[in-house]
Structure 1
């Protein structure tokens, strides 16, 4: 399938600006750098194939996030992966918010997957709960509950210093 030049440029431009967000989300789900890269690559291929069907082109960045989340989850299910907290790397794959302080990012990586996804999308990608709900396939209320539980766990983890 060949896209018109203008559409292809738009897709590539949005992809270029979204690449860190896509990787960060995929990594928060897969907890593995190579799996995150594979999930993003699959998501980009899927999105490119279906791009002509996207009616509201301004929603492309959010649509890419949703496809990436789905691909990362599908990859984890396909591999049947469960990761022990003891197996987590001590160095994070990508830092949080470019502050130079990876402590919070390490703590976020210890959260359960559903809470990790919500935290990454809300705090790192600045998405509203309604948009997060669409991306992860749940209700806005469920997203708010996940965020609340994640904040409680993060407080506890950071207070105890047990994050990496």
Structure 2
């Protein structure tokens, strides 16, 4: 497969092994712009691992390559950090940073805005959903339902 900017996402021979066990093996695919694509499979088949690799949270085994809009973001000797890929990824386990307040966790994905704009956007959203009273709390002090509400994207 050759990188083609006509595709939004391309995977070329992506594999991932953990402790010698293949979780992903030689995955290649190309997704054109505007296409909605769904990963289906039983528990443990590698769906989350593939999404983690695409987003840059994890790396493919050597030899695999990933292209976004024709630009290589992972491959031999090349890796673009997750924050520079412009891909949203919602973790199944909420993935809140324990050392950050609710406000800071919410603002984390808004780094393209100034500090003041981030604060204003966070306050606007939490006031709309009635959770402004949680802004200065830390994840360990939230109930399960309060944590789940945080996992919904709002930017």
TM-score surpassing 0.5? no
Range of TM-score over shorter length: under 0.3
- Structure with the higher fraction of residues in strand conformation: 2
- Please tell me whether Structure 1 or Structure 2 has the larger radius of gyration of its CA atoms: 2
Higher relative contact order (CA 8 A, sep 6+): 1
Per residue, is there more helix in 1 or in 2?
A: 1
